[in-house]
Amino acid sequence: MKINYDLKFKEELEKIQGRPTLLLHVCCGPCSGNVIKELIEYFDITIYYSNSNIYPETEYQRRYQELVHFIEQFNQDYHQNIQVIEKKYEPIPYYLDISFYKNEPEGGKRCYFCYKKRMHDAYLYASLHHFDYWTTVLSVSPHKNSQWINEIGGTYPIDKTQFLFSDFKKNNGYLKSVRFADQYHLYRQNYCGCVYSYKEMLEREKNKEKNKEKK
């Protein structure tokens, strides 16, 4: 049975007193902008960029630089002091763990383990640095499985830091993110991140070209 994680999120917000700290794992600027804008009402946010899935490294750097630039601008516009923490780019251990599922389509088990790896890094950082809460923006994408993301988050103990259940794609979250990203003229990539999704994107592009030629 599907759990309404958006409802759980709202219930948690109602309990909040003061301004807790939140470590927010983000995959890129476009996905995170509107989520950050909505969360700053409640939390002191620190961004955590842990995305060793991204292929190639030039693309990883491009998304990272775009995010940093966006946050600088956002801090000015919204009078914030949000910091961006980068987890070292380590694609080799990432791919060693994930390659077993390389033939799974996007949305399959490969993605489950990909969420898990990146979220695990975020949890470790949040617990080590005593954040009140931690979560990820991954659920904002319609291609990401919010049930899995929250199930993974819910497996971690809450004595040091608490996972913030959420489903950011609800309440038109994705559309709002796209609009917000456009407002900041953010670069929007055309594939999710890993080498497998990169190849799938190339295949899609090739098929598009073929179809054009047929017309």
Q: Could you list the residues that contact ligand SF4 (CB under 6 A)?
A: 53, 106, 110-111, 114, 192-194, 196-197
The CA distance from 98 to 109, in Å, is 9
Residue 96 beta carbon to ligand SF4: minimum distance, rounded to whole angstroms: 14
Minimum distance, C-beta of residue 79 to ligand SF4, in the bound complex (Å): 33
Nearer to ligand SF4, 42 or 95 (CB): 95
* Residue 180 vs 196, nearer CB to ligand SF4: 196
Least distance from ligand SF4 to the Cβ atom of residue 17, Å? 35
Tokens of 86: 């980068």
Q: CB neighbours of 87 closer than 8 A, spacing ≥ 6?
A: 48, 49, 50, 51, 52, 121, 125
Return the number of the residue (149 or 186) whose C-beta is nearest ligand SF4. 149
Paired sense of beta strands 133-136 and 21-25, if any: parallel
Which residue, 43 or 60, is less far from ligand SF4 as judged by CB? 60
Q: Least separation, in Å, of the C-beta of 144 and ligand SF4? A: 7
Q: Toward ligand SF4, which CB reaches closer, 55 or 123?
A: 55
The separation between CA 1 and the C-alpha centre of its own chain, rounded to angstroms, equals: 24
Q: Which of 114, 143, 155 is nearest to 25 (CA)?
A: 114
- Rounded least distance, CB 189 to ligand SF4, Å: 11
The CA-CA-CA angle for residues 41, 44, 50, to 5°, reads 115
